[in-house]
């Protein structure tokens, strides 16, 4: 190995762990009581801005949406949580502001102040220019909202719709794996989009060979919990809409979900290489939780439903009663009066996407087999409940699961 190669690998390791930080707060959490459960959650927070640095400016003020998101977190009080659609910035200023000005301040309708001593954040593909004509309009980049179409993942600035992991327990920063740069074409039998009119590939070979699989990123974040090391598998696949008859976003969503199926399945996977160059999947004895807004409902809405069904039915994923809420049932009944019905259980929905779409189950917390689920739920109160005043900070709702040995 040459000196240049050694230095390059070291620099990549530093970049990959740039977000592995310990937050200065008022003391570490006490160890979990022997009979207590570990509460793990995912929450698409809608804390993003179309302007670079816009979320920082929002959080520097008195942002009502951020206060509602913080209030929900203070009520549910997860020990480990993934926040989707939380804009990334290199210095972590938005994460700092949300911690200090919102989580650590008791919010109206929320609970007591909430402190997370550990967090993980890292670069994502959204808004990062690819230098390629990904939307096939004959131009690279563009102006206005069009410029997001030629980014590695749709976004108007680097870091838009990013991810943030917050934890009460230490993160093994040296062992974090990220798959931001993994090529889509590297996946065996990848769902390369096809133009139905011509029967040929939607993406030219020169584009397809460089296109990244993850629209944001895929993270394996090992957390040292009282249940042992838990691999928190975080992602936010692209929504399977906003495309054409080639279904490029539907195909990408399915393969982004498939990445986790491949990652937790046994066998050699020399193609599955992280951003540091380490290849292969998760050890067969490792405990994990797959979390995130996966943008795919098992029965309703757009998307290739078999992708999420195959993940839910994977042998290493625990079968347990699906988290539910009263609020989802009530709203689905309202939509049904206007002709929008669900094939799946209305109680299982995790978000409200308006009168044209209705409610869908898009957000998941999926523990590995061998863990025990004591309880679970979706924070979606009925419309008349007092808690409903804080539950509309996002079009998604927080999903939580309590785990024991």
When divided into structural domains, the chain yields a total of 1
Per-residue pLDDT for 6 more than 50? no
Q: What is the C-alpha to C-alpha distance for residues 78 and 365, in angstroms, rounded to an integer?
A: 12
Q: Which strands make up the sheet holding 218-225, listed edge to edge? A: 177-178, 218-225, 228-235, 287-293, 363-367
What's the chain's average pLDDT? 92
Structural domain includes residue 270: yes
Percent of the chain with pLDDT over 90: 87
* DSSP letter assigned to residue 28: P
pTM: 0.92
pLDDT value at residue 23: 41
Per-residue pLDDT for 319 more than 70? yes
Per-residue pLDDT for 62 more than 80? yes
Q: What is the pLDDT of residues 137-155, one digit of tens each?
A: 888 887 878 889 999 999 9
Per-residue pLDDT for 203 more than 50? yes
Percent of the chain with pLDDT over 70: 92
pLDDT value at residue 34: 65
CATH code of the domain covering residue 347: 3.60.10.10
Q: b/e per residue, 204-237, with b = 16+ CB within 10 A?
A: eeebbebbbbbbbbbbbbbbebbbeebbbbbbbb
Q: What is the C-alpha to C-alpha distance for residues 369 and 319, in angstroms, rounded to an integer?
A: 8
Q: What is the C-alpha to C-alpha distance for residues 160 and 156, in angstroms, rounded to an integer?
A: 7
Determine the straight-line distance between the first and last CA of the chain, rounded to whole angstroms.
Answer: 44
Nearest CA among 89, 360, 135, 121 for reference residue 243: 135
Residue range of the domain that includes 209: 3-124+159-404
Structural domain includes residue 184: yes
Structural domain includes residue 82: yes
368 vs 28 pLDDT, higher one: 368
pLDDT value at residue 32: 63
Per-residue pLDDT for 167 more than 90? yes
Q: What is the dihedral of CA 404, 257, 88, 50, to 10 degrees?
A: -130
∠ CA 374-256-91, nearest 5°, is: 85
Q: Mean pLDDT, to the nearest integer, of 60-74?
A: 98
CB 88 within 8 A of CB 153: no
Per-residue pLDDT for 21 more than 60? no
Q: What is the pLDDT of residues 257-291, one digit of tens each?
A: 999 999 999 999 999 999 999 999 999 999 999 99
pLDDT value at residue 117: 98
Structural domain includes residue 140: no
Structural domain includes residue 328: yes
């Amino acid at each position: 190995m040459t000196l240049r190669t050694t230095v390059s690998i070291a620099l990549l390791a530093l970049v990959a762990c740039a977000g592995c930080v310990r937050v200065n707060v008022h003391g570490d959490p006490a160890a979990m009581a022997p009979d207590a459960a570990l509460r793990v959650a995912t929450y698409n927070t809608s804390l993003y801005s179309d302007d670079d640095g816009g979320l920082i400016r929002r959080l520097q003020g008195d942002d009502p949406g951020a206060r509602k998101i913080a209030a929900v977190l203070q009520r549910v009080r997860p020990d480990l949580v993934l926040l989707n659609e939380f804009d990334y910035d290199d210095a972590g200023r938005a994460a700092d502001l949300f911690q200090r000005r919102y989580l650590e301040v008791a919010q109206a309708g929320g609970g007591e102040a909430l402190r997370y001593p550990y967090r993980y954040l890292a670069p994502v593909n959204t808004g990062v220019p690819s230098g390629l004509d990904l939307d096939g309009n004959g131009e690279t980049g563009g102006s206005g909202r069009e410029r997001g179409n030629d980014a590695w993942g749709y976004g108007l600035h680097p870091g838009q719709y990013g991810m943030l992991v917050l934890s009460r327990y230490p993160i093994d920063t040296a062992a974090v794996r990220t798959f931001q740069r993994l090529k889509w074409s590297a996946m065996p039998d990848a769902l390369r989009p096809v133009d139905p009119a011509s029967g040929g590939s939607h993406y030219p070979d020169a584009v397809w060979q460089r296109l990244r699989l993850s629209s944001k990123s895929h993270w394996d974040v090992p957390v040292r919990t009282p249940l042992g090391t838990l691999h928190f598998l975080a992602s936010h696949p692209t929504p399977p809409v906003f495309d054409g008859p080639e279904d490029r976003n539907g195909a990408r969503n399915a393969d982004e979900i498939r990445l986790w199926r491949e990652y937790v399945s046994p066998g050699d996977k020399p193609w599955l290489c992280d951003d540091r160059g380490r290849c292969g999947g998760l050890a067969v004895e490792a405990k994990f939780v797959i979390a995130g807004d996966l943008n795919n409902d098992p029965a309703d809405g757009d998307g290739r439903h078999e992708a999420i069904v195959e993940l839910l039915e994977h042998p290493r994923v625990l079968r347990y009663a699906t988290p539910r809420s009263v609020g989802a049932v009530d709203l689905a009944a309202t939509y049904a009066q206007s002709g929008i019905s669900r094939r799946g259980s209305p109680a299982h929905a995790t978000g409200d996407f308006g009168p044209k779409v209705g409610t869908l189950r898009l957000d998941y917390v999926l523990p590995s087999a061998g863990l025990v689920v004591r309880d679970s739920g979706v924070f979606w109160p009925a419309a008349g409940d007092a808690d409903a005043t804080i539950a509309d900070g996002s079009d998604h709702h927080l999903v939580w699961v309590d785990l024991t040995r």
